[in-house]
Chains A and B, each alone.
Chain A
Amino acid sequence: MAGIVSYGAYIPYYRLPRSVINKAWGRGGGRGEKAVAGFDEDSITMSIAAGLDCLKRTDPKTVDALFLATTTAPYKERQNSTIAATALDLRRDARNADFANCLRAGTTALLSALDAVNAGSLKSVLVTAADTRLGGASGENEQAFGDGSAAFLLGNKGVAVEIEGSYTLSDDLADYWRAHEDTFVRAWEDRFGRDEGYMKIPAEAAAGVMKKYNLAPKDFAKVCFYGANSRAHAALGGEMKFKPEQIQEPLLDTVGNTGAALPLMILVAALENAKAGDRILLVSWGNGSDAIVLRVTEQIEKIRDRRGIKRHLDIKRTLDNYGRYLRWREMVPLDPPTRHEGGLASMAAQWREHATALPLYGVKCKQCGTPQLFQSASSTHARICLECFAKDNFEPYRFADKRAKLVSFSHDYLGGGIDPPTTAAIIDFDGGGRGAFNMVDRDPDECQVGIGVEMTFRKLRYLLGSHTYVWKCKPVRD
């Protein structure tokens, strides 16, 4: 039976306590905290981060497609999933697709991947769900929305979680919506969304799937479902006739409402504690509901080393400064930069370099065996070996999955940017090869020559409608 072969997740390093937001607006209290994407993260970079976690020890060239789900795609026209798939080093003939515009996009992508695997048209599909929804300053959504992502590899072999069946309801009930022109989510009167929507339709879908497969709430070890807030979430659990101990904790106090990624992140958290034989119900919400029945196999034990939700929850730093958050989200007009911005990065040059620069390929010399990364201002293609000077005698060598040691660094206060200082780093990769990268998710005081770093895919800048992505490094924290 087809199902989940591997899972992964990603939670950004920075967490903003809700009390910090409240304090900034002259209010007291605030429950828990929310995960905040860094100034250089978006739904593409977070999809890749979860994808990397999910593909641990899997050759990305064996993956036949990337289905990327998000309501906050950086591009409206340009395939976001192909940017992510290239960075993840999937094949050029992978059938990538963007699933968008609905909080249900994550479970829809999951079901579409399942259908493709069941149909035999694709053997292995990576599904990612990520969101970075922006809540307007001082509003309820600013409190509620968090950033994060999850990833699942769907396939037929080595299935760790079988997908036994599903049931879907589509319903154009708009409790929340965001038009093409909108930056922020809009909402109708909350009681309408709650009483006619959230409290009814997912429960109807859950009942529907149980009826379809002749199951009852007692047959499930856990139920994982979307929740806009803790109170509504708990109430819906009761409405679906599950006992409190069956309800998987919805991450709202630690990560926040991560939109299309939320139900899948909750599922990852459930799988981290699941044992073979456990049956899990996954229910999403957004203009209808997908209800999916899953059953854990003994293969689950083989993928326990993912960072997933549990480890990522511990890899964090508290953002005690609301102003910094506003700056990252570009929510306030900033003082104009005194340094000129560069021009638009050449689309032709980016395309020419993508096969090496996006998946971070260097080369290994076939003559002397030296791994090397070529990073000139105009090209990432090495032609002459830096060690033995052999010409064009290389095999591809990927650096994105290698760890490295910090050789040197500096904290740059002059260069500007959204979040100064920028930390510049020179790193030597384990196994050979050197590179110059920016370093992120670091406390300037923890940087020391010799510390271990790993690679992370981030945004370099956004200019004139174009997002430019680049690999950076960050301290290893496990």
Chain B
Amino acid sequence: MSGSIKDRVAIAGMGCTRFGERWDTGTNDLLVEAAYQAFEDAGIEPKDVEAAWLGTSSSGGTGMTLAEPLRLQYIPITRVENACATASEAFRNAAYAVAAGIHDIVLAIGVEKFKDSGMSGMGGGGTDGPGHAMLSQGLPPRQFAMLATTYFSRYGLSFEEGKHMIGRVSWKSHKNGALTRNAHFQKEVSMETILNAPMIAWPLGLYDCCGVSDGAAAAIITTPKIAKRLRKGKEPPVFAKALQIAISPRDGNYNSKYDWTHVEATVRAAERAYKEAGITNPREEISMAEVHDCFSITEAVTMEDLRFSPRGKVKDDIESGRFDLDGAQPIQLDGGLKCFGHPVGASGLRMMYEMYMQLQGRADEVLNPGMPSRQIKNPKLGLTHNLGGSPDGCAIFVGIVGLEGV
């Protein structure tokens, strides 16, 4: 790998809509809301955008999904899809266009309008669509539940110990979500409620599963020079330090060497990202992270895959509060997928938005009124992580952003 994105592009502005069950809001509205927030934050006009990358998993087709509502005038727009890594993939490709010197100011935007589907949880169901249908993959919860089954078994956790560990993950995210104005779920939940919730896919209960939401988020990506000019007199721009994607060949379902207690693609993407950003000890060097907590067990295992916790030991870090908002390495500062919600095509940029706001010291701009500050002290580097697919096979994004010179 010869090239590195480190400090070659900067984020000049970002926007993020309220996530949730937005019955009265369509895809168009979500796109306009997020894009115009980003334009305003960056201090640019829509006509300044030279090109755009639109991420959506199932809420649109071509780039016209974006051009039509925003009335963008004949610029190049690429529609991107990489499951739950979709928005981050839009960001990565947009950043590469700037780094390549082809464009100066570009828009990366992700959107999902899920709640027109008429069902709880993700789309799909007990039956498969067209295809040879000789297989029954099933919905996401059961895929991730198997990660918990094997993790508990391998590390000798009783059902109660394992449930408490993953329950504590969600408890923390609900605490953070309660502080955050635009989150889907803004209520604290007791451990007792979490542990006694109905099973969705054993051993995962209701509170082990993230919200399925509508929402959009956007970023204006540009060169460091232009970013500094645009943000003159405001908070400094945020720089990309690493943008990595790793796509697995679905080894979990094919290869007996895969142990179902980790996600190999996360390990691969993270190691490449650390190398790109010049990080050797992520547990100490990464100030904070938004990771793909589609299910509580996913966050727990991801802490080990990112080397935030030693292999097999994440329980100690979870239970001791290391990842709480006031802990040594806060995770899911805005509530994560669990509470901020998960509009698939927007989630990666929502994570980036939280890192961006924290790095600029602006986290309390989206504080729920009357709540204590959610801003952490002097963050240097933030990491975002998406897992698109299931543990057996997935598209993984690991990105690192930070202030200039870090």
Could you tell me the distance between the alpha carbons of A444 and B252 in the complex, rounded to whole angstroms?
Answer: 23
A344 is an interface residue with CB less than 8 A from chain B: yes
A415-B138, A436-B253 known; A357 and B125 CB under 8 Å?
no
Q: What's the minimum C-beta distance from A238 to chain B, rounded to whole angstroms?
A: 52
Question: Would you call A386 and B251 a contact (CB within 8 A)?
Answer: yes
Chain B neighbourhood of A94, CB < 8 A: none
Question: Would you call B138 and A412 a contact (CB within 8 A)?
Answer: yes
Interface of B is mostly: loop
Select A375's contact among B124, B128, B135, beta carbons within 8 Å.
Answer: B135
Question: Would you call A470 and B136 a contact (CB within 8 A)?
Answer: yes
Q: What's the minimum C-beta distance from A429 to chain B, rounded to whole angstroms?
A: 8
Select B131's contact among A345, A413, A433, beta carbons within 8 Å.
Answer: A345
Question: Would you call B126 and A339 a contact (CB within 8 A)?
Answer: yes
Chain A neighbourhood of B199, CB < 8 A: 411, 413, 421
Nearest-CB residue, chain B, relative to A472: B136
A410 is an interface residue with CB less than 8 A from chain B: yes
- B108-144 Cβ-contact flags toward A at 8 Å (1 or 0): 0000000000111101111111111111111101110
Chain B neighbourhood of A433, CB < 8 A: 256
Question: Would you call B146 and A409 a contact (CB within 8 A)?
Answer: yes
Question: Would you call A349 and B256 a contact (CB within 8 A)?
Answer: no
Nearest-CB residue, chain B, relative to A351: B132
Q: What's the minimum C-beta distance from B121 to chain A, rounded to whole angstroms?
A: 6
- A393-427 Cβ-contact flags toward B at 8 Å (1 or 0): 00000000000000111111111110001101010
Chain A neighbourhood of B143, CB < 8 A: 410, 424
Residues of A in contact, count (CB < 8 Å): 59
A343 is an interface residue with CB less than 8 A from chain B: yes
Question: Would you call A408 and B127 a contact (CB within 8 A)?
Answer: no
A374 is an interface residue with CB less than 8 A from chain B: yes
Q: What's the minimum C-beta distance from A334 to chain B, rounded to whole angstroms?
A: 13
Residues of B in contact, count (CB < 8 Å): 49
Select A410's contact among B134, B142, B250, beta carbons within 8 Å.
Answer: B142
A338-B119, A346-B130 known; A412 and B125 CB under 8 Å?
no
A435 is an interface residue with CB less than 8 A from chain B: yes
B153 is an interface residue with CB less than 8 A from chain A: yes
Q: What's the minimum C-beta distance from A427 to chain B, rounded to whole angstroms?
A: 10
Q: What's the minimum C-beta distance from B108 to chain A, rounded to whole angstroms?
A: 29
A410-B202, A434-B255 known; A380 and B134 CB under 8 Å?
yes
- Would you list which residues of chain A between 245 and 290 have a CB under 8 Å from chain B? none
Nearest-CB residue, chain B, relative to A379: B132
Question: Would you call B132 and A421 a contact (CB within 8 A)?
Answer: no
- B185-206 Cβ-contact flags toward A at 8 Å (1 or 0): 0000000000000111111100
Question: Would you call A413 and B201 a contact (CB within 8 A)?
Answer: yes
Select A434's contact among B120, B149, B204, B256, beta carbons within 8 Å.
Answer: B256
Question: Would you call A413 and B200 a contact (CB within 8 A)?
Answer: yes
A369 is an interface residue with CB less than 8 A from chain B: no
Question: Would you call A463 and B254 a contact (CB within 8 A)?
Answer: no
A372-B254, A410-B202, A426-B253 known; A461 and B127 CB under 8 Å?
yes
Select B256's contact among A380, A409, A421, A432, beta carbons within 8 Å.
Answer: A432
Question: Would you call B202 and A414 a contact (CB within 8 A)?
Answer: no
A216 is an interface residue with CB less than 8 A from chain B: no
Could you tell me the distance between the alpha carbons of A344 and B127 in the complex, rounded to whole angstroms?
Answer: 10
Chain A neighbourhood of B200, CB < 8 A: 412-414
A339-B125, A372-B254, A422-B138 known; A410 and B146 CB under 8 Å?
yes
Chain B neighbourhood of A387, CB < 8 A: 255
B150 is an interface residue with CB less than 8 A from chain A: yes
Chain A neighbourhood of B128, CB < 8 A: 342, 345, 460-461
A407-B150, A409-B146, A410-B145 known; A342 and B201 CB under 8 Å?
no
Could you tell me the distance between the alpha carbons of A350 and B133 in the complex, rounded to whole angstroms?
Answer: 7
Chain B neighbourhood of A337, CB < 8 A: 125-126
Nearest-CB residue, chain B, relative to A471: B134
Chain B neighbourhood of A340, CB < 8 A: 118-119, 123, 125
Could you tell me the distance between the alpha carbons of A37 and B141 in the complex, rounded to whole angstroms?
Answer: 28
Could you tell me the distance between the alpha carbons of A460 and B128 in the complex, rounded to whole angstroms?
Answer: 9
Chain A neighbourhood of B255, CB < 8 A: 372, 386-387, 434
Could you tell me the distance between the alpha carbons of A308 and B134 in the complex, rounded to whole angstroms?
Answer: 29
Nearest-CB residue, chain A, relative to B127: A342
Select A342's contact among B130, B135, B256, beta carbons within 8 Å.
Answer: B130
Chain A neighbourhood of B305, CB < 8 A: none
Nearest-CB residue, chain B, relative to A429: B256
Chain B neighbourhood of A443, CB < 8 A: none
Nearest-CB residue, chain A, relative to B198: A413
Question: Would you call A339 and B119 a contact (CB within 8 A)?
Answer: yes
Nearest-CB residue, chain B, relative to A347: B132
Select A412's contact among B139, B251, B392, beta carbons within 8 Å.
Answer: B139
Chain B neighbourhood of A377, CB < 8 A: 131, 135, 137
Q: What's the minimum C-beta distance from B388 to chain A, rounded to whole angstroms?
A: 15
A353 is an interface residue with CB less than 8 A from chain B: yes
A373 is an interface residue with CB less than 8 A from chain B: yes
Could you tell me the distance between the alpha carbons of A41 and B152 in the complex, rounded to whole angstroms?
Answer: 33
- Would you list which residues of chain A between 173 and 207 have a CB under 8 Å from chain B? none
B249 is an interface residue with CB less than 8 A from chain A: yes
Question: Would you call A342 and B132 a contact (CB within 8 A)?
Answer: no
Question: Would you call B146 and A424 a contact (CB within 8 A)?
Answer: yes
Could you tell me the distance between the alpha carbons of A421 and B141 in the complex, rounded to whole angstroms?
Answer: 12
Q: What's the minimum C-beta distance from A194 to chain B, rounded to whole angstroms?
A: 45
Nearest-CB residue, chain B, relative to A356: B134
Could you tell me the distance between the alpha carbons of A261 and B146 in the complex, rounded to whole angstroms?
Answer: 40
Chain A neighbourhood of B138, CB < 8 A: 412, 415, 422, 424, 438
Question: Would you call B132 and A345 a contact (CB within 8 A)?
Answer: yes
A53 is an interface residue with CB less than 8 A from chain B: no
A428 is an interface residue with CB less than 8 A from chain B: yes
Nearest-CB residue, chain A, relative to B128: A342
A352 is an interface residue with CB less than 8 A from chain B: yes
Which A residues fall within an 8 A CB radius of B? 337-346, 349-350, 352-353, 357-358, 372-380, 386-387, 407-417, 421-422, 424, 426, 428, 432-436, 438, 444, 448-450, 460-461, 463, 468-470
Known: A343-B129, A350-B134, A434-B254. 9 other contacts (CB 8 A): A339-B124, A339-B126, A342-B129, A410-B143, A415-B125, A415-B138, A422-B142, A444-B202, A469-B134
- Which 10 pairs across A and B sit closest by C-beta, in order of nearness? A339-B125, A410-B145, A345-B133, A349-B132, A411-B202, A408-B146, A357-B134, A416-B126, A412-B142, A342-B129
